[in-house]
Structure 1
């Protein structure tokens, strides 16, 4: 009887050990399958550089939030293609110079504006430290790239600094060249946290309803904390 009980106990212990070992093996095997896709979401402060944005020499310009969601397909050990969709709130401070305000009034240009930019772009990404698989990636890495994108801006334009001034609504679309780069930190088996900076060099000088006051097109700048998660689409 005792022998039968001992055999039963041994059988159940062995079965439990085998099941645990099998589950661990499956989990380990699943972990070792290379993840070639990366989902990212980033949020942080941003600003617009434009004719009526404010005085950048004295830092009297507005910071506002920006959000970006991205999908990256890794291509080999050092390259990837990143597709991004995002939104940025836009607010300009105008000017306190009476001469500049009079010039804008005569030309029918906006003294200040508020709006929202919706943007989408594709950027080839270069990783400074190459790695073959997500589980072999370094603790810290640098990355960056230059691409092409399209943007649509919803505008609310004000033609004086007076808060009672009637406003005018409009919208504008333009292309842009995104310059994106960052530093990423490995914080988990499939997770990175990155500090990412982006500049969107647009092809328009009229995002703010004010064109040709300076000699540069308008551009958007963003600084974001980005969460990155490795995965793949194929069935594991």
Structure 2
């Protein structure tokens, strides 16, 4: 899986570098290079922990920063490389001395994710001048992420903190609604879901709804470069 991901990165970057030597103004070559920056919020869907019930976890919303570089191929297809940094945290309900359930911090951390995502845009866009004012984009890719978190465990009346670093491939699913801002700029609202295998008890061939996944909602600014 890691070798496939590295090969995809090399292929995507070589395609983007070759774009600088091509004439993008001619109708026969509609390829366009672009970069984008996004800010938003995300959350973490936790796998069950060994000491508590899954329903007791409350996942928090936290900031996300996304950077992207891509290239368009024809009317409907582009390939993007995406780097995102996402903070995540969760709290759990525990009983206090009065017998009441209170929310207590459980873990917090960051993920660093890099992926290559082919993207399909619904409205045809042969060149920048003729692209539609509004477009819908859908993407499915392959990536690799690293997470670092501090997790707090409650056992026999005491708290224990452990630091964990984990790595996993992931499948990013992206959907966005983009709006044209002049000739070279777009702004979009993008939702993303990262299907990961951070849960080491889950085989790669099996999908699981509660298995350490991430979700994001970002506002993206895109700039096209000839």
The within-5 A match list for 1:116-135 is 116-135=110-129
Residues 55, 138 of structure 1: CA spacing in aligned structure 2 closer, same or farther, 3 A cutoff?
farther
SS in 1 for 2:129: helix
Q: Which runs of 4+ in 1 moved over 2 A?
A: 30-35, 51-61, 94-98
**Structure 1 Cα separation of the partners of residues 55 and 135 of structure 2:** 33
In structure 1, which of residues 44, 51, 54 is the aligned counterpart of residue 47 of structure 2? 51
- Deviations 1:1-29 (Å, cap 9, x if unpaired)? xxxxxxxxxxxxxxxxxxxxxxxxxxxxx
Counterpart for residue 150 of structure 1: 144
Q: Is the 8 A contact 2:77 2:121 kept in 1?
A: yes
Deviation at 1:76, TM superposition (A): 1.0
In structure 1, which of residues 186, 199, 205 is the aligned counterpart of residue 193 of structure 2? 199
Q: TM-score, normalised by structure 1?
A: 0.69
The within-5 A match list for 1:17-166 is 36-51=32-47, 60-96=58-94, 112-160=106-154, 165-166=159-160
Residues 182, 160 of structure 1: CA spacing in aligned structure 2 closer, same or farther, 3 A cutoff?
same
Q: Structure 2 regions of 5+ residues with no counterpart? A: 1-22, 97-104, 201-207
Higher helix share: 1
Q: Is the 8 A contact 1:52 1:93 kept in 2?
A: no
Higher strand share: 2
**Structure 2 Cα separation of the partners of residues 133 and 55 of structure 1:** 53
SS in 1 for 2:193: strand
What is the RMSD of the two structures over their aligned residues, measured on CA atoms?
3.1
Deviation at 1:170, TM superposition (A): 1.9
Counterpart for residue 9 of structure 2: none
The within-5 A match list for 1:149-228 is 149-160=143-154, 165-205=159-199, 216-228=210-222
Q: Is the 8 A contact 2:47 2:54 kept in 1?
A: no
Residues 215, 82 of structure 1: CA spacing in aligned structure 2 closer, same or farther, 3 A cutoff?
closer
Deviation at 1:58, TM superposition (A): 10
Q: Is the 8 A contact 2:180 2:186 kept in 1?
A: yes
- Deviations 1:170-208 (Å, cap 9, x if unpaired)? 2000010000110000011100010000000001226xx
Query: Over alpha carbons, which structure has the higher Rg?
Result: 1
Q: Is the 8 A contact 2:117 2:141 kept in 1?
A: yes
